[in-house]
Amino acid sequence: MASSNPTQREYALLTVLLVSLLLVFSSNKPTPLSFHTDDIDVSAADSISFSRLSWGSGRVPHSKLVTHVPGWTMIDRLYVLNGTAYIVTTQPKLFPHPKFIMSTGINIDNGPEAVAARLPTDSEIRIISPIEARSLFGTGAGRVQGVTWLVNDPRQFITHYYHWSAELFFGFCRAYSALDPFIPPTGKSALPPPRRMLFTHLDAAHWRDYASMNQWVLRTAFPSIVMEFSGDWEDRAQMGVPFVLDRVLLADRAAAINGENFGRTQRTASEPFALPGSPNWWSTFRNNIIEFAGLNATEGQSTRSRPVITYISRQGWGRRMLIQADHDRLVEELYKLRDAYDYEVNVVSMDKLSRVEQLRMSGRTTIMLGVHGNGLTSLLWMKPSPRSTVMEFFFPGGFAHDYEYTARALGMVHFGYWGNKAFTRPDVPPVAYPEGFQGNEIPINGSVVAKIVQERLALSDEADD
Ligand SMILES: *[C@@H]1O[C@H](CO)[C@@H](O)[C@H](O)[C@H]1NC(C)=O
Ligand SMILES: *[C@@H]1O[C@H](CO)[C@@H](O)[C@H](O)[C@H]1NC(C)=O
Ligand SMILES: *[C@@H]1O[C@H](CO)[C@@H](O)[C@H](O)[C@H]1NC(C)=O
């Protein structure tokens, strides 16, 4: 039949339709997701034959500032020669002052002399014109392909679970996820994982912590990541030939300290929160880590599931412990809640659990309690919900932002305690480490704690109705 045979004209119409559909869809692609730079398509040009960025007698390809806050800077095509980083640009005003990008990478001590000694010099970072670059670099540079997370910090704050996971890694993840501000609640993102983590001032023997959590976090989040250390950085420096990092996210603690958010929170990871980002940004990284521990990351605490209360005890640790009778009373009060309301109550010493057990337990926790200390780093693995709460016990008069900031940054509520007294945002005291802060006579009133636990769980149930 004639009607079932498409004519040439119909073919032509169909073609026009398909082409226009294609155009509509391709123009709707969210640009932040793609990994294209101006001159190189990294995903396509990722073969051995593209190991060099050559410009011959042409212009040296310029560096591009992708995103920046003090201490966290993402640049496409950062050149490195003789251990110095070079930004190549005809518009130096588009780049932040180098002191907000990099430091000399020495230990962070107090006092104006220490601050001055951290300011970067021409040996650390320089902003140069393409003409200057041409005379310094010659006709090309060796590509360090893919995404590099570069750490310019000294060893000082690295070998510690909290500083590693809740500051360095946390800040990296937040800054990097600015490229994908539409991460859905499932945490799925098309962002490529960083190919390598590169330390300019740290040797391979000094990034792990005593509990071996640092390597667990990194290698579960990014199973194929490669580590490079100061020796590798020096290898390239001593070759005296230029390299170019395709895309680098550069972290520098001393540079972050120059930012305004740091002034308020003392947390370097607070700076990237000024960047665009999805409310679900952390789930992208948390899910990988949690799933390695055997938990289903999409499940977990909803406002209607059975609450899990986890008290991380430091009794027996020898430092920063509760008065023993107060600890006993607190446990008694929590067990009363368990018996009255059928809550799950766990009283645990993190050092007695395996890493998998720690992650599983915190991944299921609704309310986490404990004395100020590294054990509370586990709050990172909680699944934030309206009733998720962190309760931190301080010696009266003492306060630090570490866990308070991190809990809030994840959208959870934080309560601090001084014996009988509880406080929460905005009524938090100033940072203080009074005598007794590190001691083993920290008071807590178990019935005050239990009352607030119960309020938090009841309140969110009502809010959910
Ligand atoms: C290489 O760096 C070292 C140390 O910063 C410096 O002394 C030397 O002059 C540099 N050489 C060149 C060619 O830039
Ligand atoms: C996780 O739980 C969800 C919801 O119960 C389920 O659909 C999904 O298949 C589970 N994933 C895995 C890996 O078990
Ligand atoms: C603990 O708090 C409760 C309720 O506020 C109070 O009645 C009790 O006296 C307090 N206990 C101590 C030892 O201060």
- pLDDT digits 0-9 by tens, 272-313: 999 999 999 999 999 999 999 988 887 665 667 899 999 999
Q: How far is the CA of 303 from the centre of ligand 2 (A)?
A: 18
CA distances from 123 to 86, 149, 442, 447 (A): 10, 20, 48, 58
What pLDDT does residue 184 have?
94
User: Measured between alpha carbons, how far is 308 from 453 in angstroms, rounded to an integer?
Assistant: 11
Instruction: Answer whether 104 contacts ligand 1 (Cβ < 6 A).
Output: no
Instruction: Pick the atom of ligand 1 nearest to 123's CA.
Output: 5
User: Measured between alpha carbons, how far is 265 from 399 in angstroms, rounded to an integer?
Assistant: 12
User: Measured between alpha carbons, how far is 127 from 104 in angstroms, rounded to an integer?
Assistant: 16
Q: Is 32 helix (H, G, I), strand (E, B) or coil?
A: helix
What pLDDT does residue 328 have?
98
Q: How far is the CA of 446 from the centre of ligand 3 (A)?
A: 8
Ligand nearest to the CA of 449: 3
Instruction: Answer whether 420 contacts ligand 3 (Cβ < 6 A).
Output: yes
391 and 452 in contact (C-beta within 8 Å)? yes
User: Measured between alpha carbons, how far is 295 from 150 in angstroms, rounded to an integer?
Assistant: 30
Exposure string over 159-193, b if 16+ CB within 10 A, otherwise e: bbbbbbbbbbbbbbbbbbbbbbeebeeebebeeeb
Ligand nearest to the CA of 297: 2
Q: How far is the CA of 207 from the centre of ligand 1 (A)?
A: 28
What does the pLDDT profile of the chain (465 residues) look like in tens digits?
Answer: 344 454 555 555 555 444 444 443 443 333 333 334 444 455 556 777 789 999 999 999 999 999 999 999 999 999 999 999 999 999 999 999 999 999 999 999 999 999 999 999 999 999 999 999 999 999 999 999 999 999 999 999 999 999 999 999 999 999 999 999 999 999 999 999 999 999 999 999 999 999 899 999 999 999 999 999 999 999 999 999 999 999 999 999 999 999 888 888 889 999 999 999 999 999 999 999 999 998 888 766 566 789 999 999 999 999 999 999 999 999 999 999 999 999 999 999 988 999 999 999 999 999 999 999 999 999 999 999 889 999 999 999 999 999 999 999 999 999 999 999 999 999 999 999 999 999 999 999 999 999 999 999 986 545 544
Give the residue, out of 329, 333, 420, with the most ligand 3 atoms within 8 A of its beta carbon, to mutate for a pocket test: 420
For residues 339, 342, 347 and 350, what is the CA-based torsion angle, rounded to 10 degrees?
180
Instruction: Answer whether 82 contacts ligand 1 (Cβ < 6 A).
Output: yes
Q: Whose CA is nearest to atom 14 of ligand 2?
A: 296
Write down how long the chain is. 465
Q: pTM score > 0.85 for this model?
A: yes
Instruction: Answer whether 186 contacts ligand 2 (Cβ < 6 A).
Output: no
Instruction: Answer whether 296 contacts ligand 2 (Cβ < 6 A).
Output: yes
What pLDDT does residue 146 have?
94
Tell which residue, 239, 198, 255, 246, has the closest CA to residue 83: 239
Instruction: Answer whether 298 contacts ligand 2 (Cβ < 6 A).
Output: yes
Give the residue, out of 445, 448, 452, with the most ligand 3 atoms within 8 A of its beta carbon, to mutate for a pocket test: 445
Q: Which residue has the tokens 């780049």?
A: 95
What pLDDT does residue 27 have?
38
Tell which residue, 343, 363, 347, has the closest CA to residue 355: 363
Ligand nearest to the CA of 86: 1
Q: How far is the CA of 82 from the centre of ligand 1 (A)?
A: 6
Q: Which residue has the tokens 């693995």?
A: 381
- pLDDT digits 0-9 by tens, 341-359: 999 999 999 889 999 999 9
